[in-house]
Chains A and B, each alone.
Chain A
Amino acid sequence: MKKTKFTWQRKDLLGIQELSADEIFHILDTAAAFKQVGERNIKKVPSLRGKTLINLFIEPSTRTRTSFELAATRLSADVVNITANASSLVKGETLKDTALNLQALHADIIVIRHGAAGAPHFLSKIVKASIINAGDGAHEHPTQALLDAFTIREKKGKIAGLNVTILGDILYSRVARSNIWLLTKLGAKVTLAGPSTLVPHVFEQLGCRVTHDMEEAIRDADVINLLRIQHERQRKTMFPSIGEYTAMFGLNKERFARTKPDAMIMHPGPINRGVEIDSDVADCSRSVILEQVTNGLAVRMAVLYLCSGGQPA
């Protein structure tokens, strides 16, 4: 693989929206090198030795937090996990004060997940530590979009020109927004599909196509990315029932048979078997759901390496 002349300048990863295509490719190239580390006898390198990473998860998460924790550990950083109910936020401390306390403990990197959009951007302005956005409200989840792009590029050899359909709960999904920004920057043709209440036409302003016709959405897709219904974010009922959603938009065997023969199935997890995806489809050879998990580790190692590089410890 050729080395890019490009140099990384950012200390934070707040979202995909502000990244250039060059920056995205640089992260993906770096992740390819870190993916190799996971395949070695000794799956650990000393790149972040002496650095401290704090996982500040104000919203619950298992897979993203575990992935960041493993990524940091494999780079030899020290990791501390803070969850919402174990933090002083429940005692009335503000997010700003929590962050300043972490800074006083000499944290080098703060990985934050927060229910409020913009929380990582706010923190990046008040602390010196690197801020990595691990999901802010329904705004962005940049490392998920990067690992999706990494997986697409690894499997399909390119991203530009591919038809990518994102299916499901777009309205409340930070994964969808980050993916839309990333894929359109790299030249993919993005189609959003799902119930009209969850996939409003206003998303066309982001440069993608919106359809509410499931058959049409999956027919020409090279990649189908299924999103979970975010019950926890929906303030009112957006569709009559789970059963009806599954009947209208679930990826079952019959619909799967009508996709392109090399169409790839993706899902950021956790999957709801029998709701947005049938078990047979989730487990088939064209499903890359577990490879996404493996690639997530490599992408997060790359992001931690790049964002903490160059600053004296």
Chain B
Amino acid sequence: MDAAAIERALARMAHEIVEGNPEADAIVFVGLRTNGAPLAHRLATKVGEILGRELPTGELDITMHRDDLNLRETPPAVGLSDIPFDVTGKTVVLVDDVLFTGRSIRAAMDELSDFGRPKCIRLAVLVDRGHREFPIRPDYVGKNLPTSMTERVTVSLAEIADKDEVVIEK
């Protein structure tokens, strides 16, 4: 996917989010660090343009809730979460770049629950590459990308990597 394709996918997802959530005043966006965070801000801006107001956006670092801490050679660096609003009673749209095994999303839902009790949690991902290991399913998908387990999906975003691009590598 190039920059234009990513932009089109996000625009479509924004419209789907508005259509699917009649109680639009309770929508907040939370991106998974690192790549989900800029995507959450972009989606929030697009949905905000449709609704004519700004939507609260936060960022989540899921390291403390990972289920593979015991399997790694060294402890992964933990970062800061930034949820500058109360999530209780809100419709939280979790945003990530690539949905793969579903384990990150499990960790993100657990971590989000530490901040409060959302009314519901929706999942928006730019790319769904399949191979789920948990019963998790996205509500909004930018692109379904069938892959093999040996392939790598790399998402670059302008906010972090100076360009917008999704590539599959062998």
Q: Is B113 an interface residue (CB 8 A)?
A: yes
Which chain A residues numbered 44 to 71 have a C-beta less than 8 Å away from chain B?
44-47, 50
A33 to B113 Cα, complex, angstroms: 17
The residues of B that contact A311 with a CB separation of less than 8 Å are 70
A4 to B41 Cα, complex, angstroms: 23
Q: Is A215 an interface residue (CB 8 A)?
A: no
Distance between B145 CB and nearest chain A CB, rounded to angstroms: 27
Q: Is A249 an interface residue (CB 8 A)?
A: no
Distance between B68 CB and nearest chain A CB, rounded to angstroms: 10
Chain B interface residue count, Cβ-Cβ cutoff 8 angstroms: 25
A33-B61, A46-B65, A47-B64 known; A310+B115 contact, CB < 8 A = no
Contact B70 A9 (CB under 8 A): no
Among the listed A8, A37, A312, which residue makes an inter-chain contact with B75, where contact means beta carbons less than 8 Å apart? A8
Contact A309 B69 (CB under 8 A): yes
Which chain B residues numbered 64 to 93 have a C-beta less than 8 Å away from chain A?
64-66, 69-81
Among the listed A41, A42, A50, A310, which residue makes an inter-chain contact with B73, where contact means beta carbons less than 8 Å apart? A310
A7 to B76 Cα, complex, angstroms: 7
The residues of B that contact A310 with a CB separation of less than 8 Å are 69-70, 72-75
Contact B113 A309 (CB under 8 A): no
Q: Is B116 an interface residue (CB 8 A)?
A: yes
The residues of B that contact A45 with a CB separation of less than 8 Å are 64-65, 111, 114
Contact B80 A26 (CB under 8 A): no
In this complex, the member of A3, A32, A44 whose beta carbon has the largest number of chain B beta carbons within 10 angstroms is: A3
The residues of B that contact A309 with a CB separation of less than 8 Å are 69, 72, 74-76
Contact B110 A46 (CB under 8 A): yes
Q: Is A1 an interface residue (CB 8 A)?
A: yes
Distance between A207 CB and nearest chain B CB, rounded to angstroms: 30
Among the listed B70, B71, B116, which residue makes an inter-chain contact with A41, where contact means beta carbons less than 8 Å apart? B116
Contact B69 A47 (CB under 8 A): yes
Which chain A residues numbered 1 to 42 have a C-beta less than 8 Å away from chain B?
1, 3-4, 6-9, 26, 29-30, 32-34, 36-37, 40-42
A residues contacting B by CB (< 8 A) are 1, 3-4, 6-9, 26, 29-30, 32-34, 36-37, 40-42, 44-47, 50, 305-306, 308-313
Query: What are 23 contact pairs spanning A and B, CB under 8 A?
Result: A3-B34, A3-B77, A7-B74, A29-B77, A30-B78, A32-B80, A33-B80, A33-B81, A36-B81, A40-B114, A41-B115, A45-B65, A45-B111, A45-B114, A46-B110, A50-B70, A305-B64, A305-B75, A306-B75, A308-B75, A309-B76, A310-B75, A312-B71
Given A26-B77, A34-B64, 19 more A-B residue pairs with CB atoms under 8 Å apart are A1-B80, A3-B34, A8-B74, A8-B75, A29-B77, A32-B80, A33-B81, A34-B78, A40-B115, A41-B116, A42-B114, A45-B65, A45-B111, A46-B65, A46-B110, A305-B75, A305-B78, A309-B69, A309-B72
